[in-house]
Amino acid sequence: MADINQKIFKAYDIRGIYPEEINEETAYRIAQAYVEFVQPKEVVLGKDVRLSSPSLWKAAAQGIIDAGVDVIDINTISTDMLYFSVAYYGFSGGITISASHNPVDYNGMKIVREKAIPLSSDAGLKDILQIVLKHKKILAKKKGRIVKKEITEDYINHVQSFIDISKIKPLQIVANANFGLAGEMLKKITRDMPLNIIGLNFSPDGSFPKGRPDPLIPQNREEVIKKIKETGADLGVAWDADADRCFFFDEAGEFIQGYFITALLAKTFLERYPGDKIIFDPRLTWANIDTVKENRGIPIINKSGHAFFKDRMRKEDALFAGEMSAHYYFRKNFYADNGMIPFLIMIEILSTSGKPLSKLVAPLKNKYFVSGEINREVANTQMILKEMEDRYSDATIEHIDGLSIEYHNWRFNLRPSNTEPLLRLNLEARSETLMEEKRDEVIAFIDRLEKKNVLF
């Protein structure tokens, strides 16, 4: 057996380049290690649309059944369908073969245990890696079986339960599936709704012919923006390749950040359940804190990342959570994130309010001025974080996730990437002028530190 590349074990999942970093042997060994660590009675096993996913799925399935455990085959899925399947049916564990929004040459594995509780670097993934490194093969006397299970209709009924379908009014919507499964599922989920869906890239294609399937990349939004302007659509929506994140565009084609969508959804939920808890990440916070408090809720800031959010959701029994990255979590969705539920709630909001999305988010955008996420490639992230903390030592400082610096009229969060030598900056201020001034100030300071580090 070849040595495994330990770098494929990330903070929340397993991900690497196929076949150099992750391949069939790797998938087999990880699946066996998962069985040894979790001790499941059965393992739900799904896959995304990537070209390498079927062969990795077969290898993982073989590792599981060789260990004497049954595989519940749920076929090609969105990642949120894995969470649903494990929690809804009461299975004791699950894996999906997926590299989410990464480029075509990547693949990976997202892993959960019972109740769709995720494994992360803080809770299980490091243990699984240590088992893999022992090169121990498990061959049970009685092999497991592969049992096919159809979950689509139950999944559709579940996500539809979050809205009152009778309230949905005729809307024209531009929807970009980015060649994942979202397009196929959207057609089924909205089949009884008076919606005119203008589909972009709806046919699943794991070669991702238009590039990396990630709507957070600005150039990947242009197709949706252009189509909204051409058609006069009421709303634009896009998903990443594994369809667990949901991105929105208003009727003018303007991309609406996940920060403001989180605040809008929090307001909607708190109108139904006042006094409940809402969780969000520390990158940008003021709009969420103010919105939650104004609507009699309890705001909670938590470390970014789906595994960390789900753990906190359970501990707090929180109603709803949202990240800037467009992951949205729901208590009634087993505390897990889902890519279709936010879309359904959004079309219900538009239908019942009679207002366009631009009008709904205008009070937020006119009060909280944000930089957008700015990435800087640096050689020594920890050195820069320390120097930055010293530079702004008179501020309120937090380390929930990276470094957060806050003054009464502006604040920023600076955090290192989990996978790349990057620092990610998000800054907000009480005025656009101040935001631009402080954004340029912080960027210039980072660049000076990096230049000094390179020279010396």
Least confident of 126-130, 133-137, 295-299, 359-363: 133-137
pLDDT of 383 above 70: yes
Give the CATH number, domain containing residue 403: 3.30.310.50
State the pLDDT confidence band at 176, using cuts at 50, 70 and 90. Answer: very high
Residues 172 and 136 in one domain: no
Residues 173 and 67 in one domain: no
Residue 300 lies in a domain: no
Residues 174 and 147 in one domain: no
In whole angstroms, give the CA distance from residue 434 to residue 338.
Answer: 36
pLDDT of 110 above 90: yes
pLDDT value of residue 451: 85
pLDDT of 1 above 80: no
Range of the domain at 418: 369-455
Residue 274 lies in a domain: no
Residues 108 and 182 in one domain: no
State the pLDDT confidence band at 419, using cuts at 50, 70 and 90. Answer: low
In this prediction the pTM is 0.96
Q: Look at residues 142, 28, 43, 122 and name the one whose alpha carbon lies nearest to residue 89.
A: 43
Of the candidates 256, 274, 306, which is a domain's last residue? 256
Residue 221 lies in a domain: yes
Residue 299 lies in a domain: no
Q: Tens digit of pLDDT for each residue in 135-165? A: 889 999 999 999 999 999 999 999 999 999 9
Residues 136 and 172 in one domain: no
Q: What are phi and psi of 99, to 5 degrees?
A: -120, 25
Q: Tens digit of pLDDT for each residue in 65-87? A: 999 999 999 999 999 999 999 99
Residues 176 and 247 in one domain: yes
Residue 437 lies in a domain: yes
Least confident of 260-269, 285-294, 420-429: 420-429
The residue to which tokens 């009480």 are assigned: 430
Residues 47 and 176 in one domain: no
Q: Look at residues 232, 226, 123, 238 and name the one whose alpha carbon lies nearest to residue 180.
A: 238
Task: Please count the structural domains in the chain.
Answer: 3
Residue 318 lies in a domain: no
The burial class, CB within 10 Å (0-12 / 13-18 / 19+), for 275 is exposed
Across 352-371, average pLDDT = 98
Of the candidates 256, 291, 323, which is a domain's last residue? 256
Residue 43 lies in a domain: yes
pLDDT value of residue 455: 43
pLDDT of 241 above 80: yes
Q: Tens digit of pLDDT for each residue in 334-351? A: 999 999 999 999 999 999
Positions marked catalytic: 100
Give the CATH number, domain containing residue 104: 3.40.120.10
HEC letters along the chain? CCCCCHHHECCCCEEEECCCCCCHHHHHHHHHHHHHHHCCCEEEEEECCECCHHHHHHHHHHHHHHCCCEEEEEEECCHHHHHHHHHHHCCCEEEEECCCCCCCCEEEEEEEEHHHCECECCEEHHHHHHHHHCCCCCCCCCCCCEEECCCHHHHHHHHHCCCCHHHCCCEEEEEECCCCCHHHHHHHHCCCCCEEEEEECCCCCECCCCCCCCCCCHHHHHHHHHHHHHHCCCEEEEECCCCCCEEEECCCCCEECHHHHHHHHHHHHHHHCCCCEEEECCCCCHHHHHHHHHCCCEEEECCCCHHHHHHHHHHHCCCEEECCCCCEEEHHHCCEECCCHHHHHHHHHHHHHCCCHHHHHHHHHCCCEECCCEEEECCCHHHHHHHHHHHCCCCEEECCCCEEEECCCEEEEEEECCCCCEEEEEEEECCHHHHHHHHHHHHHHHHHHHHHHHHC
Of the candidates 256, 276, 303, which is a domain's last residue? 256
Residues 248 and 375 in one domain: no
**Cβ density class 110-136: b for 16+ within 10 Å, e for less:** bbbbebbbbbbbeebbeebbebbeeee
Residues 15 and 137 in one domain: yes
Structural contact between residues 144 and 32, judged by C-beta atoms closer than 8 angstroms:
no
Across 230-244, average pLDDT = 98
What is the percentage of the chain residues whose pLDDT exceeds 70?
98
Residues 90 and 18 in one domain: yes
Residues 200 and 65 in one domain: no
pLDDT value of residue 456: 41
Residues 49 and 182 in one domain: no
Q: Look at residues 291, 424, 441, 262 and name the one whose alpha carbon lies nearest to residue 367.
A: 291
Residue 17 vs residue 121, higher pLDDT: 17
pLDDT value of residue 421: 73
Residue 334 lies in a domain: no
Q: Look at residues 280, 302, 311 and name the one whose alpha carbon lies nearest to residue 117.
A: 311
Across 35-39, average pLDDT = 98
State the pLDDT confidence band at 2, using cuts at 50, 70 and 90. Answer: low
